[in-house]
A and B are shown apart, each in its own frame.
Chain A
Amino acid sequence: MAAFDLDFTLEQGEFTLSFKVHVDARALALFGPSGSGKTSALEAVAGLRMPRRGRIAVNGRVLVDTDGHMNIPVRHRHTGYVPQDILLFPHLNVRDNVTYGRRAGSRPDLSVLIDLLELAPLMNRRVGSLSGGERQRVAMARALYSHPEVLLLDEPLAAVDLPRRRRIVDALIGIRDQLGVPLIYVTHLPEEALTVADWAVLIDNGRILAEGPPKQTFDTFGSFRSNVQSR
């Protein structure tokens, strides 16, 4: 269980993203249509975007606090980030990608990550030869190997074909439960939000429309959900 203390505003193109979530959760799903501000919220936690004002803390560790003039540099945030376009380093093989983040302190054992994410047959491959699902698993391992205090994922199932999605979902559950790494992930697929998260946040046009346990949130906002899906 992690204490998410996320309260910030961020300029996002035409609108301002106002984000305010205070919750203890193992996995937080940010759900909403594309362009709603989900990715920006994730990038604000990772430190790749600077909020106009506000405070971001995970488990009491403050990452940014504009009132206190505090802004932890990206490399010291310990936030594993898997962007939607995954961005494995193209000049490194799978093993060198996974072990890129050499940070002091305890880290998940490489063999644990290899087992959990089923990477054994991939370790010596070139990243250019990987499928979407394989790339996703390698990127998750790379982020986890750097010993993050929270793992941020942007649309983790987007690049994965339907039959292989179950493996990624199982991996996310494994990361959450076996490794105990809290997750924040962005999705536009309700079923993904329902299976892994224990707290869901519905965002549209930079505003939070609802938040709560995923099932309850989606039941309450069933009309919103079908509306989003039809877009």
Chain B
Amino acid sequence: MTAEIRDIAIFTTVAAIAATALMLVPGVAVAWLLARRDFRGKSLVETLVSLPLVMPPVATGLLLLWLFSRRGPLGAALARIGIEIVFTPAAVVIAMAVMGLPLLVRTARAGFEQVTRRYEQIAETLGAGPWRVFSTVTLPLAARNILAGAVLGFSRALGEFGATIVVAGSIPGRTRTLAVGIYSFTESGQDEQAAVLLAISVVIAFVAVFASNRLAREA
């Protein structure tokens, strides 16, 4: 295996882990809100969160490109404090997180909905405030689903292609991921490298799914 291939594998795995970490807190928070609270604009939030699941990934990428470009609403603000996102490794992580988020939110939400309100009520009668109820009762009881959702999100991140190539490109040694690499190598006739990346993808995906199944059984 060449150094380039090895670096692509490591970068992709690290970026997918970072993306999972990035989506975890907002994903769990949104899942809890959707499961437990009624509020104005709830349907809007539901739709927005699920959008990347149904939109073509390339379209999501284009949307991110617009948001984070120097003239975009987020990109302009970030540029003022000297942060550039587009065509950087950060763009890879953001694209992965946005694409993985819907899977995390949907799975975690189902987990929260399965936790009967009555356990939370009992915790309240024992003097627990909202945060304690959430962190010691709701969250642990939904943990299995949250974990499953995080693994799904991670897997989605690992295979992300469409949004990544639009917002981060395929810069060797900088933003090239497994999926993007397979495409780029095939495109330029480097079939051998593409095949190695393909094999690595299979191994990483296998390990991730195997580990998550083990964890789910033990949880």
Contact = CB atoms under 8 A, between A and B. Distances in A.
Interface of A: 46-48, 73-81, 83, 85, 87, 89-91, 100-103, 142-143, 146
Contact of A143 (B125, B136, B137, B141): B125
Interface of A is mostly: loop
Given A91-B140, A91-B141, A146 B126 contact: yes
B141 A77 contact: no
Given A91-B140, A91-B141, A81 B122 contact: yes
* Interface pairs A-B: 8 shortest CB-CB: A101-B126, A74-B124, A103-B127, A81-B125, A146-B126, A75-B124, A91-B140, A75-B127
7 contacts: A48-B125, A77-B125, A89-B119, A91-B140, A100-B128, A103-B126, A143-B125
B31 to A, nearest CB: 19
Nearest to B116: A87
A89 B137 contact: yes
What does DSSP make chain B's interface, helix, strand, loop or mixed?
Answer: helix
Nearest to B122: A87
B143 to A, nearest CB: 8
Contacts of B35: none
A144 to B, nearest CB: 10
Contact of B127 (A46, A89, A90, A101): A101
Nearest to A78: B127
B124 A83 contact: no
Nearest to A139: B122
Nearest to B139: A91
A202 to B, nearest CB: 26
A100 B141 contact: no
Given A100-B126, A146-B127, A74 B121 contact: yes
A100 B123 contact: yes
Contact of B141 (A47, A90, A101, A146): A90
Given A89-B123, A91-B140, 16 more contacts: A47-B125, A48-B121, A48-B125, A74-B121, A75-B126, A75-B128, A75-B129, A79-B125, A87-B118, A89-B122, A100-B123, A100-B136, A101-B126, A101-B127, A103-B126, A142-B126
A90 B143 CA distance: 13
Contacts of B136: 100
Nearest to A147: B127
Contacts of A103: 126-127
Contacts of A100: 123, 126, 128, 136
A194 to B, nearest CB: 28
B154 to A, nearest CB: 24
A142 B123 CA distance: 10
Contacts of B129: 75
Contacts of A143: 125-126
A83 B122 contact: yes
Contacts of B122: 81, 83, 87, 89
A20 B94 CA distance: 61
Nearest to A85: B118
A196 B124 CA distance: 27
Most B CB atoms within 10 A — which of A75, A76, A102, A143? A75
B35 to A, nearest CB: 18
B119 A87 contact: yes
Contacts of B124: 47, 73-75
A100 B132 CA distance: 10
Contacts of A79: 125
A74 B120 CA distance: 11
